Structure 1
């Protein structure tokens, strides 16, 4: 059975919006504030995560961002991401175009539950804020991996936002990455 793993870059105050500065968000581009050593160590962590991933699950906007960049890249990390099965949740995307990509058109709960039954290993969700909040609200997420960046933005879309639901997590691991980043891994705690 597959495990839904949410993997996010997040500011210290929980913002996930526009880390690369592509969305015209006034605080966008915060991801690029890390130094070279932090970037090198971040890359190692992300590459290792890709090696341990069975499939990617993405929302449409995040999928389109990845699909516009990774197919033309070379190297081991690009080869891994390009070869992985990719599932995109969308009601508007017809032809995904990126190798090994499948559009999930139906109800999110049913489609993701089916993926969990059919796949073994980690099904990693990058970015995809709306999808992530839906997965958490529907109690479909199993693990949360946060790469915490040492910036406070004071505004923007947050991982949990004003969602109206409550969830409990259990800390699994902590890890320093480079000189300034922290990797926190949590399990979603299920009621007994």
Structure 2
């Protein structure tokens, strides 16, 4: 059985919106303020995570965002991200924008639960905050990996929204990626 792993870049106040600033929001770009040493450590970590993953699970907007930025890149990390199997959750998309992808439509909870049952390894979710909230609500997330950037952004979409019920997690690992805290939480069974 596969495991759904959420891997997010997040501010101290839970904002996940426009971390790179390319979407032009007034408070975006906080991800780019890390030091070069932090970026190198973070890059090594993210590359290792992509190598260990069996597949990626993305929302429609994240598929488009990553496709626009990774399709033309070269190198080991780009090769891995461009060729890894991807599953894109969407009720409106017929053809995903990033290569080697399959659209999951219809009953998303059923589709993701089936994918999780059929997989053997980690299915990593990048970005895709609405999808992450839905997965958490339906108890389909096995692990949360949060790289915390030391900024209070103050406004913008947050990873944590209203949930159907209280959700319990336990810290299973903590480390520094350079000076950035990286926390891994496992889901506590209900």
TM over 0.5, shorter chain: yes
Deviation at 1:161, TM superposition (A): 2.4
Residues 4-53 of structure 1 deviation map (CA, whole Å, 9 limit, x = unaligned): 00000000111111101133322111100111111111101100100100
Matches within 5 A, 1:89-108: 89-108=89-108
Give the superposition deviation at 1:107: 1.0
Moved more, 67-76 or 160-169: 160-169
How much does 1:90 deviate?
A: 0.5
Alpha-carbon distance between aligned partners in 2 of 1:64 and 1:148, rounded to the nearest angstrom: 24
SS at match of 2:70: coil
Alignment correspondent of 2:63: 63
Rounded to whole Å, the distance in 2 between the matches of 1:79 and 1:168 is: 36
1:54 counterpart SS class:
strand
1:111 and 1:131 map into 2 onto residues whose CA distance is 13
Report the equivalent of 2:171.
Answer: 171
Unaligned stretches of 5+ residues in structure 2: none
Q: Partners of 1:118 and 1:160 in 2: how far apart?
A: 28
| Partner residue in 1 for 2:123 | 123
2:50 corresponds to which residue? 50
In the alignment of these two chains, the number of paired residues is: 190
Contact 2:137 / 2:164 at 8 angstroms: preserved in 1? no
Runs of 4+ in 1 over 6 A off after TM superposition: none
User: Which one is further off, 52-61 or 96-105?
Assistant: 96-105
In the alignment, does 2:187 pair up with 1:188?
yes
State the TM-score, normalizing by the size of structure 2. 0.96
Alpha-carbon separation, structure 1, partners of 2:97 and 2:81: 14
Output aligned runs, 1:133-148, within 5 Å.
Answer: 133-148=133-148
- The CA deviation at 1:164 is 5.0
In the alignment, structure 1 segments of 5+ residues that lack a partner are none
Q: CA RMSD in A?
A: 1.1
Question: What is the CA–CA distance in structure 1 between the aligned matches of 2:5 and 2:167, rounded to whole Å?
Answer: 15
Change beyond 3 A, Cα 1:41–1:102: same
> What is the deviation of 1:146?
0.1
Name the SS of the counterpart of 2:56 in structure 1.
strand
Mapped to 1, the partners of 2:120 and 2:103 lie a distance apart of 19
Q: Name the stretch that deviates more: 151-160 or 45-54.
A: 151-160
Alignment map for 1:153-172 (pairs within 5 Å): 153-172=153-172
